[in-house]
Amino acid sequence: MEACKGFLDSVYCGSGVDGAGLRVVVFFSGCNLRCPFCHNPETLFRQGREETAEAVAARCFRYRPYLRKGGVTLSGGEPFFQRDFCLSLIERLHAGGMDVAVETNGQIADERLIAAADSFLVDVKNQETDDVCAYDAFLAVCDRRNKPVVLTNVLVPGKNDGEEKISALRKLAAHACVGRVKFLPFRKLCAEKYERLNLPFSYEPYREAEEVDLLRAEALLKGN
């Protein structure tokens, strides 16, 4: 394999929420979207450390004894935004026997990349738009390739918790590849990051989601 370089923000070991089992999470730098509620605004721009896929894979392998029935999750930012680097890293991780999940915004339906990974967490960004066509295209490839998908959705009360938004989410969940829809509560813990980066945080007026909001959204998803 040829050396391939890409930009990373950080590597974290010990996540139990970014895929099956205990996982190493590799946070890529750079994203094709500019979501105003992004919890990791420091990863929006391709300005992290430049590393080779070989070096990143070697770091992940060091944690292997601790990854009980887990693996590596590529997150960000948007991993697919660095296509060649992402593909090279997946290949190297697989060569070392690691399971690879990708946390993605589902806007880049690259068949080769989708075929390379083992599973996906697709975050549906329906807070600012009603257009979910790009997700249909991504999930259609996952259907063909038999790739397991968990749909995630950051629930913002007053923004995307209504029946129309959740009905569109229900249609996406009808894809054969989708095994679960997971609502994530909107939180403002990231507001301090925006301030440090001198970026506007336009979601400050919205309240944080509570358990009752998540339960209501789950009921709407089921058509209740």
Phi and psi (nearest 5°) for 31?
-145, 150
| Domain of 57, in residue numbers | 5-221
DSSP assignment letter at 43: G
Per-residue model confidence (pLDDT) at position 46: 79
Per-residue model confidence (pLDDT) at position 48: 81
Per-residue model confidence (pLDDT) at position 125: 93
Identify the residue whose tokens are 């336009």.
202
- Whole-Å CA distances, 148 to 22, 115, 208: 18, 11, 30
27's tokens? 């946070």
- CATH at residue 149: 3.20.20.70
> Structure pTM?
0.94
From first to last of its 224 residues, the chain has per-residue pLDDT tens of 568 999 999 999 988 788 888 899 999 999 999 999 999 999 988 788 899 999 999 999 999 888 878 999 999 999 999 999 999 999 999 999 999 999 999 999 999 999 999 999 999 999 888 888 889 999 999 999 999 999 999 999 999 999 999 999 999 999 999 999 999 999 999 999 999 999 999 999 999 999 999 999 999 999 86
Distance between CA atoms of residues 57 and 85, nearest Å: 11
Per-residue model confidence (pLDDT) at position 1: 52
Number of domains in the chain: 1
Residue 38's H or E segment, with its range, is none
